[in-house]
Amino acid sequence: MELQLSMVDGSVCMKDSAKSEISSERTLYPYVTGTSIIGMKYKDGVILASDTAGSYGSTLRYKSVERIKQVGDHTLIGASGEISDFQEIMRYLDELILYDKMWDDGNSLGPKEVHNYLNRIMYNRRNKFNPLWNSLVLGGVKKGQKYLGTVNMIGTHYEDDHLATGFGNHLARPILRSEWREDLTFEEAVKLIEKCLLVLLYRDRSSINKFQIAKITDEGTTIFPPYALKTFWGFSHFQNPSKGAAGTW
């Protein structure tokens, strides 16, 4: 056992090999997590999609977690990462929108403004070594201008025509880079998103077959009820997988 001086707040504590016990007041690691979010612009607005799983490490603990929520009139936010931190973020955002509404001045915060606000929150929490352990996707439309942006727990943020978090970056982005177009109709956009969601379902172990799609246009927001996709497991390799195996392997 040795003493360790924390550079951050000057506290001294005992260090053991498993973990330090500097303070119980900061996020050390995520507990209940959501996996990927996919977002993309289409002709009339922006679509966000996610599954509804909340994993507790390798356990699929919660299967009806809404990871996409509405923020004000013009924005949708989807979160992956620690679910409780997402709930905290929703409290920040709801307060932001409330104060904005209380001005009652005919203006309302658009997705760009909400994204900027979130960027500053995430970056400042990172500076205090107490991050909100999330990767967020923000999509919205205001006065015909479509917006899609993302921010992660250390404050890295950017915008693009299509975005994803977590595994979605590896599995969904390549599909979107190949097949996304500026003028997708809603039906075409949903088909493209479902293609991505299916790949994630097959290949991401933390995803489940229960998805939620949300769209936002100048007319308004719709968060659709959860539904399942049709999967195919009839590949010959999956039938009798241990056929031909020698010994115990």
Partner 1 sequence: MALRGDWMYENNGGTCVAIAGIDYCVVAADTRLSVGYNILTRDHSKICSLADKVVLASSGFQGDIRALHKNLAARHLLYQHQHNKQMSCPAMGQLLSNTLYYKRFFPYYAFNVLGGLDNEGKGCVFTYDAVGSYERVGYSAQGSGSSLIMPVLDNQLKSPSPLLLPARDAVTPLSETEAVDLVKDVFASATERDIYTGDKLEIVVINASGIKREYLELRKD
Residues that bind partner 1 (CB under 8 A): 7, 19-20, 22, 26-29, 119, 123, 126-127, 129-131, 154-160, 169-170
Radius of gyration of the chain measured on its C-alpha atoms: 21
Rounded distance between C-alpha atoms, residue 123 and residue 249, angstroms = 48
Pairwise CA distance, residues 9 & 32, whole Å: 28
CB of 245 to partner 1, least distance (A): 34
Residue 7 vs 102, nearer CB to partner 1? 7
- Cα torsion angle, 173, 214, 201, 56, sign: positive
The answer to whether 26 and 8 are in contact (CB under 8 A) is no
Q: How many alpha carbons fall within 13 Å on the CB side of residue 166? A: 26
61: tokens are 């603990």
What's the start-to-end Cα distance of the chain, in Å?
43
CB of 156 to partner 1, least distance (A): 5
> Which lies closer to partner 1 via its Cβ, residue 135 or residue 206?
135
Least Å from the CB of residue 126 to partner 1: 5
Q: Closest separation between CB of residue 216 and partner 1, Å?
A: 21
Least distance (Å) from partner 1 to the CB of residue 130?
8
Helix ranges (DSSP H) in 13-108: 83-103
Closest CB to partner 1 among residues 56, 158: 158
Burial class (CB in 10 A: 0-12, 13-18, 19+), 139: buried
Residue nearer to partner 1 on the CB measure, 35 or 119: 119
Nearer to partner 1, 170 or 210 (CB): 170
Q: How far apart are CA 71 and CA 95, in angstroms?
A: 10
158, 149 Cβ separation under 8 angstroms: yes
Dihedral (Cα; 229, 230, 234, 239), 10-degree rounding:
50
d(Cα 196, Cα 122) in Å, to the nearest integer? 27
* Active site (catalytic) residues: 27
